[in-house]
Chain A
């Protein structure tokens, strides 16, 4: 009986280690970020100049940074701005991108040409450059960076959705829906959309990883999240100088970023394979 259950679980593709392990890691980090106020042992922003660069101990689980702030507490709080920002970036990019992609793919014609040419121009900007210009013009803040990255991420999702709709709309079920007299909007959003959502979700997951990387990069340069707010990239920039004497200052946020991004990437790879095996 038990063996049967284990076998059954083993054959369940969503429980394969390549999906479940990264999911678990992400769940731990996200839970830590959500419940940071309850889990943190210290105030993440309280300076304690008498106790700088302490080694990990029972009082400070990961030691303290160069201004005496508790690294463990900062690590918990430090995922919040990046996570929220990345969700904002991907949310903005997916809502606009999916909508434009569906409209362009379904109706084609003039609107399709205009949107696609606009996105060609968007893609002619080297990655992040538009964000740099944006920050230069409208000031250093997480909001501005999120908005700029949202625009940068739109073309990819638009193009993907558009190509999916282009193949879907020639299938028999669309013809059937059309002959039943359904409106274009209904066909597009009730019939075609559910058939595209799986592939789009994988792209959204990959975009999430990229959004976290890009947001961290901008915060690291001092253009995104502003110190003293606890943020992993800000912690890296501040800890860079004292790395040699006290490696935890950099290793803690560094390993956290790597774990999160590796997990998202493995997860999206796993979902991709799962999806491909479902189609066969």
Chain B
């Protein structure tokens, strides 16, 4: 296995919450950077994604938008969402490259009960292993970006895997490779953050005062980041302003499970203690 594919977290194992990267820290950490101001809406990335990952074509119909499909699916891991918004009297496309953001703290992985069905590598890629998936869809619930999609025929969940086979071979993901305007950049996370800063500077000098990078802290940052020209309009981009990988009920559940294990064990010890103290209450049938 190459350095690119060292496991960092694995679902339903201790490493889900205590990442293994402390053991090896020299592997490169990658990120995509999607500069929405450079996107011309050609959907070449959608095609490249389908081709490289050999995903089935899904017939679609005109529904009054330039968008190709209405939603992601288990066969459509990437969808350019053409959000039409009126800004200063002009219609604008606040396009969102809707696909897995590869969270540093992946809510899907935290929620998954099947050991090894979701794996995060030290390079930042979060990948689903369908062999281990049990089809419970807890990952769909756990994802703050509504990305994983369940296939009701295979009973498995799938999503963008960041072209992990390409990355392993030292190549960029297919969507990055094909983008004709270089709207999607690929490199180490540090380089992409620096590139984002430079892009934001340029956008601000061109009058996009609110230009910002989308790398939300609530999920520990992401390995697909966006540069959004209108950073004050995250809602219009359909980007959650404050996503979290550990919503309160799930934190509560983790705590309760830990307490529950002790309580359950103690209850069995308790019946033994009761038995030793009081024994059986027998019925004297001879009397």
**Are A and B genuine complex partners?**
no
